[in-house]
Amino acid sequence: MQVELAARSASQPGKAEDTPPPSPAAAAASAAEDAPLLPDGRVRRRAGCGRFAQRSGSFRHEVGRAAAETFLLTRLTLILLRYLGIGYRWIRQFLALCCYTLLLMPGFIQVVYYYFFSSQVHRSVVYGDQPRNRLDLYIPTSTTGLKPVVAFVTGGAWIIGYKGWGALLGRRLAERGIIVACIDYRNFPQGTIGDMVEDASQGISFVCNNIASYGGDPGRIYLVGQSAGAHISACTLINQAIKECGEGDTSSWSVSQIKAYFGISGGYNLLNLVDHFHRRGLYRSIFLSIMEGEESLQKFSPHVMIKESSASQAFVDTLQQHGVKADLFLYEGKTHTDLFLQDPLRGGRDKMLEEIASVIHSEDPDASAQHLAVPVARRLVPEFMLKLAGRVSPF
């Protein structure tokens, strides 16, 4: 599904005279390079030693952060297990998820290698104060001109979402000359839906205001969400639109900066999904806790919000009734994850990615020509394993 919004050009990046002064560490290294010999004749320490110390300090910092995140994840997992109890539904779904992951592992290993070792990936760029306020950037190899930008909010049933899940999408779109920013956000039980929407809003704000420094075009920003991420990003857009209709809004981004929204396999009316998720192992009590209580289901249902606030086939119809240009794309025979995982891992021509890229490049004929020249993606997982994964998928 694509929802096109009015576009507004953002400010261009600063001029050369706005370049920030060097960091204290860089200044100290420069001063050391020019320093004379010590009075007692000893040779001063080389600047390379300082750089080594900086690298060592950076490594220790990364290890410390990884340890802290591991501790946090373990604590949150234990809290989540207390919520889940020993119900057979979620255990069955968890086992299905394990089988699903194992079947797709040949492809996942290659994507993980790309994620950690490709120079095109800038991991864990900080956009806010919360521990999960990080995003990954996927930068095209070509540095000619400003690139269109996709801000992507990944799925994960509001519980297991993680920015790294967007690595495959980021890679494929970067090959087509598009910068991708995969936005992380707090999951339950670390946060509830209000926290997730707040994090997504801050991530979008960072992209709108800083992407030019990474070679992105602030006048061509597109929002994409998948599964729970489609729900979160839709709520974020509508909340922002409602804020802008009021007085005294001081937010640092506007819905007019988003050229179009693509919602992939999202849910937009939570009132109709409570029983469905309960049957799938996301029990009613947990789902209502994530959504901040039954009374908040309407507040976080984009379909209902648009109907009631005047500020999806039913969702698309509702958008169109309120003057929004909306298109619905249906892919026959596809499961919840086919479009996002199995099809890209299958290689060859990816219809959904091609349609997204064609919309993004439609206003730039040169970029469109570059997009059409992209080589066909190679297969990452054998077909029989993809079909088995589709059969056991818990989604």
Cβ atoms of residues 185 and 232 within 8 Å: yes
Q: If residue 225 lies in a helix (H) or strand (E), which one and from where to where?
A: strand 216-226
Structure tokens at 37: 């010999």
pLDDT at 166: 93
Mean pLDDT of 329-354: 79
Residue 244 parent element (H or E): helix 228-245
Tell me the pTM: 0.72
Whether residue 296 has pLDDT greater than 70 = yes
At residue 278, φ and ψ (nearest 5 deg) are -60, -45
CB 150 within 8 A of CB 92: no
How much is the pLDDT for 110? 92
Assign 123 to helix, strand or coil.
strand
Measured torsion, CA atoms of residues 125, 257, 12, 137, in degrees rounded to the nearest 10: 20
DSSP 17: G
- Is the distance from CB of 263 to CB of 302 less than 8 angstroms? no
The confidence score (pLDDT) of residue 241 equals 84
Read off the pLDDT of residues 26-78 as tens digits, 9 standing for 90 and up. Answer: 444 444 334 444 444 444 444 445 555 555 666 676 677 667 767 777 777 77
- Go through 187-213 and write b for each residue having 16 or more CB atoms within 10 A of its CB, e for each that does not: bbbbbbbbbbbbbbbbbbbbbbbebbe
Strand partners, 221: 149, 258
Residues 181, 119: Cα–Cα separation, whole Å: 15
Extract the tokens encoding 290: 């994530």
What is the per-residue pLDDT for 360? 86
User: Which range among 262-271, 286-295, 335-344 shows the weakest confidence by mean pLDDT?
Assistant: 335-344
Structure tokens at 28: 């100290």
Tens-place pLDDT, residues 308-324: 655 477 767 766 776 66
